[in-house]
Amino acid sequence: MSATINRIGLPRDAYKGAATTLCAGCGHNSITNHMIKALYELGVEPHRLAKMSGIGCSSKTPAYFVESAHGFNGVHGRMPALTTGAQLANRQLIMLGVSGDGDTASIGLGQFMHMIRRNIDCTYIIEDNGTYGLTKGQFSATADLGSVQKKGAVNTFQPIDPCAVALTLGCTFVARSFSGDGKQVVPLIKAAIAHRGTAVLDIISPCVTFNDHDGSTKSYSWIKDHEESIADVSFIPFFEEVHVDYEPGTVRDVELHDGSHILLKKLGEDHDPTDRRAAMRVIEEGRSAGHLVTGLLYLDPASVDFATTERIPESPLVDLSEDELRLTKDEFAQFMSEFA
């Protein structure tokens, strides 16, 4: 690959968007950069990309990458429905959804769950900071029990863990990461896009203005001290050959539907990402130990997405002509006669 253009001949700048209007130091801006890198390196065709979002700081970010792609900043918590409809209308689109913790775990929890249940082919990134930034710092539903608000209030409710919820619903791709960990986030985004089905990426992304203080469990310093990666992730796209030198038994290789590979290098205890119960255990043990477990938690390489299950053709429904959609005159006449 050339240093200046990618496999489809586009420079990295082609994947940039408008200037961000988020706070300096916001974790979301890092994630935006990770997305630009991932999309550029994958060589995603901008016209096939559909950037979807709901409402909130996170949901503004699709304006900040791949400006030439179509985007849809819809209504609060309802991005999954818009994504579902658009995906069915045109299966050639690459659906990339960006949401936040309020958008996903509170107002949009129902749609989040039903999107997973259907296994809509999309990437669903949660830019998770445990707080409502745009409305100035209220707790969100992913805030940890006992986490302290900027003005001192203590969260007395159990958090909703989007990854645990996703696993429970049979989500076919579940990962967690940290906005500051580009080495992990970029390959996870690539793998999520390559995956056929709903890929949930919960990326902890500190809010520098309202949730980056002592006592918060979503601050930069807390995460740096408590992050525990389960494996080093690398992603080999379908258009590159897998040639990695590694000690036998130290790396897992998972092949995706499109021929891409995810390579997972063991760090501590071995985790099999295709074992859903093991993923639940890893999350639960991390939680008990007060760790933020990151990495690819679960993947079903045999995932069958909704549109496939529903027998929707690969070619876009939007391209069908009148002849393909209307009854013929004979069929119509026959049908009318049956009402007699």
Is the CB of residue 239 less than 8 Å from the CB of residue 62?
no
- The answer to whether 244 contacts other proteins (rule: CB under 8 A) is no
Q: What residues does 261 pair with on adjacent strands?
A: 236, 255
Q: For residue 227, what are the CA distances in angstroms to 182, 184, 222?
A: 14, 12, 8
- The answer to whether 100 contacts other proteins (rule: CB under 8 A) is no
Question: Could you tell me the smallest distance in angstroms from the CB atom of residue 121 to other proteins?
Answer: 13
Tokens matching residue 244: 């990695």
Cβ nearer to other proteins, comparing 50 with 199:
50
Among 241, 245, 247, 338, binds other proteins (CB under 8 A): 338
Question: Could you tell me the smallest distance in angstroms from the CB atom of residue 136 to other proteins?
Answer: 18
Nearest CA to 84 out of 126, 125, 122, 44 is that of: 122
Tokens matching residue 188: 């996870």
- The answer to whether 135 contacts other proteins (rule: CB under 8 A) is no
Among 157, 239, 246, 332, binds other proteins (CB under 8 A): 332
Rounded Cα gap, residues 287 and 36, in angstroms: 31
Characterize the bridge pairing of strands 261-266 and 251-255: antiparallel
Question: Could you tell me the smallest distance in angstroms from the CB atom of residue 287 to other proteins?
Answer: 28
Is the CB of residue 193 less than 8 Å from the CB of residue 201?
no
Residues across the chain: 340
For 197, phi and psi rounded to 5 degrees? 140, -175
Q: Which stretch binds other proteins (CB under 8 A): 27-35, 106-114, 143-151, 162-170?
A: 106-114
Cβ nearer to other proteins, comparing 109 with 251:
109
Question: Could you tell me the smallest distance in angstroms from the CB atom of residue 265 to other proteins?
Answer: 37
- Per-residue binder mask for other proteins (CB under 8 A), 69-98, x = binder: xxxxxxx--x-xxxxxxxxxxx-xx-----
- Per-residue binder mask for other proteins (CB under 8 A), 36-75, x = binder: ---------xxxx-xx----------xx--xxxxxxxxxx
Nearest CA to 85 out of 70, 73, 95, 75 is that of: 95
What do you get for the CA distance between the two ends of the chain, in Å?
A: 67
What are the DSSP calls for 243-259, one per residue?
-----TTSEEEEE-TTS
Rounded Cα gap, residues 222 and 40, in angstroms: 31
For 168, phi and psi rounded to 5 degrees? -55, -35
Cβ nearer to other proteins, comparing 160 with 317:
317
- The answer to whether 24 contacts other proteins (rule: CB under 8 A) is no
- The answer to whether 290 contacts other proteins (rule: CB under 8 A) is no
- The answer to whether 214 contacts other proteins (rule: CB under 8 A) is no
Cβ nearer to other proteins, comparing 92 with 250:
92
- The answer to whether 9 contacts other proteins (rule: CB under 8 A) is no
Neighbours of 151 (CB within 10 A): 8
Cβ nearer to other proteins, comparing 22 with 282:
22
- The answer to whether 183 contacts other proteins (rule: CB under 8 A) is no
Q: Indicate the residue type of 188.
A: L
Cβ nearer to other proteins, comparing 42 with 264:
42
**Positions that interact with other proteins (CB under 8 A):** 18, 45-48, 50-51, 62-63, 66-75, 78, 80-90, 92-93, 110-111, 114, 118, 307, 310-313, 316-318, 320, 322, 324-327, 329, 331-333, 335-340
